[in-house]
Chain A
Amino acid sequence: MQNSIRGRLIATVVLSQTLLAAGLLFAGVYYTHRRLLMTLDAGMQARAMSVAALVRYTEDASGNVYFDNTLMPQSLDPSHPDLFAVWTQRSGLLTRSGNWPSGLEIPPTGARYWDFAWHDIPYRALRATQLPVLDREEGKSFQPQTLTIVYASPMVRMEEQVREAGIFIALASFGLLVATVLLALWGIGRGLRPLQQLAGQAALVSADNWQLRVPKHAEQMEELRPLTQSMTTMLARLERSFIQQREFMGNAAHELKTPVAVLKSTLQSLLQRPRTSEEYQAGLEHSLEDLERLEQLLQWMLRLARAEQWAHGALRRDLQVIDLNTTCEEAVERIRNLAEVRHTQIHLSTNGPVPLRADPEDLQLVWTNLLENAIRYSPEDAAVEVAVGRTGDGRARVVVEDHGPGIAAADLPHVFERFYRGDPSRTRATGGFGLGLAIAKALVEAYGGSITADRTPGQGTQMTVELPARDR
C-alpha cells in the first residue's frame, strides 16, 4: 500500500473524504441540535405564557390569585409530560404540575434556561420572571401581581431527531465515500495506463535494440514527458558508451591475444620434446620478455580506462591551481632517459606563468605521452620542441613538435583512436601500443580542453593541446 501510487492516492482520497464526512456530520448535528433547541425554547416560552394566562384573580377585591387548572393544555409528549410551577410575588408557590420532582434544584436567578435530568430523562427548563397576571379586570383597585414560572420540557424527542439527522448524514457520507473510491480507482487505473505501456516498451530495450518506442499516450502525457525525455537521452548515452566499450573490448582482446599466442607457442614448443638446459633457458627468457610486454600492455590499458573514467565521470576532485610550465618541465625530466637513448634533444620554451586548475599528475601524463610519441617517431639525433604559452583568447596552449617523417595524411584523423597505429610493423620496432595519444586525449577532454594533430610532410608533426586557463 505504502509503495503503490494507487494505494497512496486511494488512501489520500479515503482520508480526505472521511475528514470531510466527519466535519459534515459534526456541522450537521450541531446545526440540527441548535435549530431544534431554538424551536424547543420558543415552544416552551409560548407554553409558559399560556400557563401564565391560567392564573386569575379571585372575585373579591383581595387581589389574590388562583390557578385555573382546567384549561391546562396537553403535553406534546404524553409519555413524558411537561413540568411547570408558578410562584406569585406576594404569596410564593401558587401551583405546580403533579409530576413536579420534589428535590428539583432551581438555579439562582439569572439563568433563563438550564438543563437537568430527572429519572434519567433529560429536561430543558425555562424560568420566566416578572410575568404580569394577564387576567386584569378594569376598575380593580389592588396592586397587580407578578409571577415567576418555571416550565420544563423533556428533550427526548429532540435528541431522537438529532440522532436521526446524524445517522442520515453519516450514511450519505459513507455512500459518497464508496462511490468516490470506486471512481478514483477507475480514474487512477486509466491514468496509470500510459505508464504501464511505457514500461512495456522500456522492457523491450536491450543491448541489441536501443530504440525506445514511446507510446502515443505516454508522449502526450505532460507528467510523463520529463521521464520519457530523460529515458531517451539516457538510452542514447548508454548506447554510445556501450558501443565504445564493445569496440574497446574487441580491440583489447585482439591486442592481448597476440602476446598470449606467442607466449603459449613458446612454452608448448619447449615442451614438445626434451631440450638442453640452454634451450630451456632461452625459452624461459623469451617467455619472460613476452610476459613483460603483456604486463606493459595491461598497464597502458588500465591507465586508459582510468583516464576515460575520469573523463566520463562527473566526479571532480579538489583541484589546485598549478603552473602549466612546471608540469611541462617535470614531464621533460621524466622522459629524459628515453631521449638520451635516442639522442633526442628536447627544447622547452616558456612565456611567463600559465596558471590553471588541474591535477599535475594528469597533465604530466599527457605531456609525457606526447613527448614519448614524438621521440619514438623521430630519427635519432633529431630535436623535439615544446612551446608553452597562451592562445589569443587566453586559453593555455602547449605545442609538441617533432622533426620525424610526419604522420601520413590518411592516419591523421585516427591518431587519437585507441590501439590505432599507422603502420602495424612499426609497433614492435618502437614498442608502442597505440594507447598513449588516446589517453592524452581522454585526459585533455576531461579538463574541457582540445587536442589536435597537424603535419608538415617531411618536416614533422605538431600536437597542439589547448586547455582552459585562469587569468594571471
Chain B
Amino acid sequence: MRVLIVEDEPRLAENIARSLRESAGYAVDIAADGQEGLFLAESNAYDVVLLDLMLPHMDGMQMLTRLRQSGQHTPVLVLTARDDKESVVALLNAGADDYLTKPFDLGELLARTKVLIRRGKGQPSPVLTIGDLELNTVNRTVQRAGRPISLTAMEYRVLEYLAHRPRAVVSKTELLEHLYDYNWEKFSNVIEVYISGLRRKLDDGSARQLIHTVRGQGYILQE
C-alpha cells in the first residue's frame, strides 16, 4: 500500500511516515504544501491521502476540492486542529472520507488509514478471505486452511495488495506503484522474486494454486 502525507510540519510528517512504514509496511510519500500534494496525488497511485488543512501555497481544503474535481477518488483522511461542527461538516462535504483532530494518536491514525484503504477497495472486513486463505490486516498474519504461514515483510505487502483486489488482474507496474514510494523503478526486477517466494509458501501442501500469472498482463489472486 502507498500513502501520501500532505503536512507542512516536517517532524509530524516524518513521525507519521515512520509509523506507517514500520507498523503497516506501507510505502509513504511526503508533500510539504498543497501544490506539491496535489501534483503527487494526481500523478501517482495512492491508496490513501493524509491531508493537513493549514498548508502554505494551497490550503488543504482547496487541495481536496481540486483533487475531487479532477475525478480522483482516493480516500482522504484529513488531519485538522479544528473540531467544531461547522469545519467538520465543511470538510466532509468537500469530499473528505474521515478526519482526525490534532493532537491525534498514531495508533488511531493507523487504524483509520487501514479502514479507508479497505473501504476504497470494497473490502468490508479487516480479515480478507480468498478460498481457504485468510489474511488478517490488523495483526498482519496469514493462514491457509488453518495453518499459519510466515512471510517476509515484502512478501506480506505483495500478498496484502493482491488480497485487497481479489479476482482482478494486477500488473507488475501497479504492484510496484503501490508498494514503493516515488523511486520505485529501481525495484522493478524484484517482484518476480517475491511472487515465487509467496507461491512456494502458500501452495506448499495444497492441491490448488492461488496466485496465477496472466501472461503479458500481471498476476491474479483467486481460487
Contacts and interface: CB of A to CB of B under 8 A. Distances in A.
Contacts of B18: 269
A177 to B, nearest CB: 64
A260 B18 CA distance: 18
Contacts of A286: 11
Given A268-B107, A290-B11, A425 B19 contact: no
Interface string A263-287: 1111011001100000000000010
A262 B9 contact: yes
B89 to A, nearest CB: 16
A340 to B, nearest CB: 27
Interface of B: 8-9, 11-12, 15-16, 18-19, 22-23, 33, 54-57, 79, 81-82, 84, 101-107
Nearest to B20: A269
Contact of B81 (A258, A263, A265, A290): A258
A425 B12 contact: no
Contacts of A428: 8-9
A422 to B, nearest CB: 11
Q: Which 3 A-B pairs have the closest CB atoms?
A: A425-B56, A261-B103, A265-B15
B56 A265 contact: no
A423 B58 CA distance: 11
Interface string A244-271: 0000001001100110111111101100
Given A265-B12, A425-B8, A272 B55 contact: no
Contacts of A268: 15, 19, 105-107
Contacts of A265: 11-12, 15-16, 19, 103-104, 106
Given A273-B22, A290-B11, 11 more contacts: A258-B12, A261-B81, A261-B102, A261-B103, A261-B104, A264-B103, A265-B11, A266-B11, A269-B15, A269-B18, A269-B22
16 contacts: A253-B81, A254-B81, A257-B81, A258-B9, A260-B102, A260-B103, A261-B12, A261-B104, A265-B15, A265-B16, A266-B15, A269-B16, A269-B18, A273-B22, A425-B33, A428-B9
Given A262-B9, A286-B11, A269 B102 contact: no
A272 B9 contact: no
A424 interface: yes
Nearest to A265: B15
Nearest to B15: A265
